[in-house]
Amino acid sequence: MGTVNIVPQVLLCILFPLVFVVPPAGMYLYYIVTKRLKDKHPNQWHSLGSPGLIRNNSIGNSCSTLWFLWRKKFLQLDDPLLVKRCNMFVILLRVWMVIFTLIVISFIWSVVLEKLK
């Protein structure tokens, strides 16, 4: 039972610093993707609601942009640089979902173990 008690704390110690690295990297990639869409594919950018990192950033714009990225609709634009950046963003988003899920599980695990003592 001793190693089971330490696992959530070790996971939290490993994963928690990533909270300060992954989201800023994601924001930077989001900025690059939306800027590329605005500069090279203005029709698509307008159809997504003219998304940006800070300006004109609403829930609707963010959701439509994330849906556009998640469904890989950017492949239709035939822009190799945009495809590369969008794929990087989608991978980072998936990594973030895994990290966040593991942090929540580790936190709940440590709280449950503390209650069982």
**Which residues fall within 8 angstroms of residue 90, CB to CB, at 6 or more apart?**
69, 70, 72
* pTM score over 0.75: yes
More confident residue, 5 or 20: 20
User: Interhelix angle for 59-70 vs 80-116, to 10°?
Assistant: 110
Please check the confidence at residue 44 and state whether its pLDDT lies above 90.
yes
Tens digits of per-residue pLDDT, 50-66? 998 887 777 888 899 99
pLDDT the model gives residue 4: 61
Question: Could you tell me the residue ranges of all domains in the chain?
Answer: 24-101
Q: What pLDDT band is residue 12 in, cutting at 50, 70 and 90?
A: confident
